[in-house]
Structure 1
Amino acid sequence: MGDIDVHFYLSILRRRLPYILLCVTASTVLALIFAVFQPRTYQSSAKILVEAPQIPVNLVRSTVQTSSMGQLQIIQQQVTTRDNLVKLAAKLDIYAGEKEQPPVEYLVKNMRSRIIFEETELSGGDGASVFTIGFEAKSPLLAAQVANELATSILSGNQKQRTDRAGNTLEFFDDEVKRLDGDLARVEAELLKFKNENRETLPESLGFRRTQQSALQERLISLEREQSDLRTRRSLLVETYMVTGKYPTGEPLTAEQQMLLDLNKALSDQLTVFSETSPNIVALRARIAALRGKVVPKKQEGGDTKAPSGLDFQLSDVDRRIEAIEQERAQITGKIEELTQSIRATPATDIRLNALERTLANTQTQYNTAIAKRAEASLGQQMEARSDGGRFSLLEEATQPQQPLRSKRRLIVIGGILAGLGLSLAVIALLEILNKTIRRPAELVQMLQAQPLAVIPFINTPYETRTPPLKRKLNSVTRIFSHR
């Protein structure tokens, strides 16, 4: 055993054996007395069947996602709360046999220790299981009453919890649908207001505005062409009158008049290409001047006094048309400018419009989802109202037990014996610590701090060998009193 002196410790146990016997005997007697007066207890249990959902999940999904066993554990915690246990004890008068009502803390702790919860899984793989709830009491009737009351509380609590959750889910989606309906109406109003305020720059009319812009530009070119023709006609009228002395009335012109008219047209065409100093222009003007000198006298001799009034009438008609064309050109130019500005502003409008439409689409999607979820929540509420989402049913009521629970007296007696052994060992250890007598060579070496040459052990006399230690002590005490 190494450095452990087994014989020394065994000698201590032999020497202190009376203390051991005394402590073990006392604790055992106390344990026996306590075990004898220990009251009998009875246990009664009720069984609850936890069934799987009655309707397949792929057809109708319950809005209560907590499993049946999970809900059962929640209800178990709720049943064993402080307030519920106090109410249960008062309702069934559990502590009626007590001399005085126990404190609340002791009552709650005692009630929790007497309630039994057990779970048993059923074979078959359908998720069904049996939950056993029991209670220990001094009376068989009280044990059965408390167990049945606990089972009733669990059944009603489960039904209330599932229906409340389903109702809260439906209420939540009702509120969500109302909120999204308001958001949807607000976004639609904003979109309508934006379209009304920016109807001239909306992207859906961009193609029409571009087509309209092209048509107006073509119309503007046509008016410019017509205006040019009118101005040419007016010049021709004036030139013809100046050349012939007459405005065009349909009468045939002389050869000189026709040639002069042709030369003026050629000059007008040449001026669009050449400058005034060009030899061609100079030559044409010289010919026109020479020919006009021949024609003008004839014009003066045979001139029509009514010609100026007829010419003025035609010129005024041409001028009115040119003025109308100018006004129409101004209107068309303004309209084209407006169309150009609206086309330039269309991209910005398109960006803002897309943002509003995205918001509307997202809100509409959320609204449709909320509507679908509300329909599911409504089905889930109906299913929970019919207890088809996960049913709890009372499989077996608690009855009065005929036999008490197995007594714990043996355990109490064994505990008393072990306690006596422990107490005796503690007493022996304390006595040995207080005893400073040198009993071993090792203790002598430790005290002297030196190794002795030899150690002579204690040698008992024949009397000491025959007589027990306790008797020797009694004889010594007797001799002391006799000498006195």
Structure 2
Amino acid sequence: MTSEYEMSVNDYIAIIKHRAVLLIVSAVVILGVCVMVAISLPPTYESSGTILVESQQISPDLVAANNNTFADERIEVIRQRVMTREHLEAIINKYNLFASQSRQLSVTEKIDEMRNAITVSLVSAAVKGRGEVTIAFRLGFEHREPEVANKVANELVTLFLDENIKQRTERASETTEFLTQEADKLRVELEALENRLADFKQAHSNALPEHQELRMNMLSRAETELKEVDRDYKAAREELRFNELEVSAASAGVAKPGAAGAAADKPQDLGSLKAEYARLLSLYTEAHPDVRAVKRKIAALESASGNAGSSVAPVSLDVAKAQARVGASQARINSLADQKREILSKIDAYEAQILETPQVERGLVTLMRDHDNARKKYEEIRTKEMGAKISESLEQENKAERFVLLESPLMPEKPVRPNRKKVVAMGFVLAPVGAGALVMLLEMLSQRVRGVEALGSVVGRRVLASIPYIHTKAELARRRKWQTLVVLGGVVIIAIFLVLVHFLYMPLDLIVVKTLGRFA
């Protein structure tokens, strides 16, 4: 056949008639194979339970939980913990799973088969303001025996619930323990800073900033006292020079006019001097110059009266009195000098402390800042620790977010695999397609000439006449036989189809009743 010839519809019809037996046989074989596969495939049952993700019972505004992870993330974490080798191997050994396999499986292969048989599907819902939120999940297990599937599913559900409680409790306990350790560390650090601050204040107690105003007042008071002492010191020096002049005059036997006048003006007897001393004490202190002068005169008169019986000349008594006054003045000058030196040392100390205060304040501010930061951290971590303890109590009392078994795994009544209806339906689709593909392949490999037009295309000449094929009696008998077989085969196929529909889809009597009901 040349490439110029194109097959017509008659040629295709002729091919179908010629290959009719092959088409029917191949279609029946393919359909039979699909039916056998649908019947021979072992059933797989699935038992599943539904677990609800229940929100926290107490309002989060009152008590906040520490486990704030998303439900799907927590479910996946629990799934990985449950599907460990240890757990799965224990379940396999407990229920003797995969013992009926055609070949002996290793422990790793059994665990892989077990993981493939476990299904976890999330149930989500649209929540306003939060989008898609996981509110529940279904946990199932597939097995060829429904009883085993149900038992293993219940075992897995129990593991999931227990692992959720264990995980949340452990996380809450670990959080509380961590915060407690951190709080203890901060407490030790805070105590160390408090000790450093106390030592610093004790070491610089005289230069603390809070006492700066007091030191300024004390410095001002010391300066005022220094001025008074300096004035008294100068007066005492003048008195000393005056007394030294009196000593010189008394030693020469010459009475000073001023002294004589003073003696004439003032009472020189002991009683009058004591009365004057009492009057001055009521007005001044003992450190006042007038009080001290009267006190010295009283002492001189008492000393002179004790020596009245002696034969010393009056001039010697005046010299002794003048010398006593000189000694008293000298003693007062020495005392005032000591007071002045003491006050000057105090002033120097106050000034040094005032100058040292800014440096002390800088170090104190640094320590106070570190102390305040450590105290704030300590209070913050203590607050978090208290919240963690409350959250731990929520977890222990099972009042936080939890998993609740909404529907227990039930005994499966129908297998989930294989879908025998789909397999048979696929057979009805594959049977004509496969038969047609087989015929097309055979025709593509065949080199025979089909019809008058094909012959003319091959020889390149016009065909004047064609003689049809004349069938013999034997061929006609064989054709009738094949036709009978085809009819019987069709009846068998229809019967098989009705049987499959009756057992796999719906009983025929129900189909008839429903069909009649539609036309009633």
* Partner secondary structure for residue 251 of structure 1: helix
SS of alignment partner, residue 246 of structure 1:
coil
Write the letter of the residue equivalent to 1:395: L
Aligned partners of 1:237 and 1:247 also within 8 Å: no
Per-residue CA deviations over 1:283-303 (Å, capped at 9, x if unaligned) read xxxxxxxxxxxxxxxxxxx99
Question: Aligned-pair distance for 1:415?
Answer: 6.9
2:69 maps to which of 49, 66, 71: 66
Question: Match of 2:355, as an amino acid?
Answer: R
The answer to whether 1:219 aligns with 2:225 is yes
Once the two structures are overlaid, the 10-residue window that deviates more, 76-85 or 317-326, is: 76-85
SS in 2 for 1:77: helix
| Residues 26-85 of structure 1 deviation map (CA, whole Å, 9 limit, x = unaligned) | 877665544332101112111222211111111111122224444223212333345443
Q: Would you say 1:376 and 2:394 are equivalent positions? A: no
* Residues 120 and 129, structure 1, Cα contact 8 Å, conserved in 2: yes
Equivalent in the alignment of 1:259: none
Match of 1:119 among 115, 119, 122: 122
The structure-2 alpha-carbon separation of the partners of 1:154 and 1:465, relative to structure 1 and needing over 3 Å to count, comes to: farther
Q: How does 1:278-297 map to 2 (within 5 A)?
A: none
Q: Which amino acid aligns with 2:55?
A: A
Number of equivalences: 393
1:161 counterpart = 2:167: yes
Instruction: Give 2:75's aligned amino acid.
Output: L
Query: What is the CA distance between 1:207 and its match in structure 2?
Result: 1.8
Q: Does 1:43 align with 2:54?
A: no
Q: CA deviation at 1:86?
A: 3.5
Is the 1:46–1:132 contact (alpha carbons within 8 Å) kept by the matching residues of 2?
yes
Structure 1 partner of 2:406:
395
How far apart, CA to CA, are the structure 1 residues paired with 2:29 and 2:407? 47
Pairing 1:367–2:370 present: no
Residue identity matched to 1:252: G
Quote the offset at 1:249 in angstroms: 8.8
**Residue aligned with 1:61, SS:** coil
Structure 2 CA distance for aligned equivalents of residues 465 and 182 of structure 1: 116
Map 1:48-127 onto structure 2 (within 5 A).
48-104=51-107, 106-121=109-124
Specify the SS of the correspondent of 1:394: strand
**How do 1:288-437 residues align onto structure 2 when only pairs under 5 Å count?**
304-405=315-416, 407-409=418-420, 411-412=422-423
Q: Please list every run of 5 or more consecutive structure 1 residues that lacks an aligned counterpart in the other structure.
A: 255-301, 435-455, 468-484
Moved more, 114-123 or 177-186: 114-123
The C-alpha deviation readout for 1:124-147, integer Å capped at 9, x for no partner, is 989893322112211110110111
Post-superposition Cα deviations, 1:254-280, rounded to whole Å, max 9, x if no partner, equal: 9xxxxxxxxxxxxxxxxxxxxxxxxxx
Structure 2 Cα separation of the partners of residues 243 and 88 of structure 1? 132
Task: Answer with 394-403 or 21-30: which moved more.
Answer: 21-30
Residue 504 of structure 2 corresponds to none
Match of 1:143 in 2: 149
Q: Match for 1:372: what amino acid? A: T
Q: Which residue of 1 aligns with 2:234?
A: 228
TM-score after normalising by structure 2: 0.64
Deviations 1:297-333 (CA, angstroms, capped at 9, x unpaired): xxxxx99454433322211211111111111211211
Cα distance in 2 for residues equivalent to 1:58 and 1:92: 47
**Residue of structure 2 in register with 1:289 after alignment:** none
> Aligned-pair RMSD on alpha carbons?
4.4
- Contact 2:28/2:431, CA 8 A, preserved across alignment: no
Secondary structure of the 2:405 match is: strand
| Local SS of the residue matching 1:393 | strand
Contact 1:240/1:248 (<8 A) preserved: no
Q: Deviations over 1:447-471 (max 9, x none)?
A: xxxxxxxxx964488999989xxxx
TM (normalized to structure 1)? 0.68
Residues in 2 aligned to 1:6 and 1:137: alpha-carbon distance in whole angstroms = 59
1:48 is paired with a residue of what secondary structure?
A: strand
What's the CA shift string for 1:431-455, capped at 9, x where partnerless?
Answer: 99x9xxxxxxxxxxxxxxxxxxxxx
Is this contact kept in 1: 2:52–2:404, CA < 8 A?
yes
CA distance in structure 2 between the aligned counterparts of 1:129 and 1:16, rounded to whole angstroms: 62
Are the equivalent residues in 1 in contact too, given 2:123–2:134 (CA < 8 A)? no
My pick for the range that moved more, 171-180 or 90-99, is 90-99
1:246: which partner in 2? 255
Which residue of the partner structure matches residue 184 of structure 1? 190
Q: Please give the secondary structure, in 1, of the residue aligned with 2:260.
A: coil
Report how far residue 412 of structure 1 moved. Answer: 4.8
Kept after mapping to 2: 8 A contact 1:35/1:409:
yes
Contact 2:48 2:410 in 1 (8 A): yes
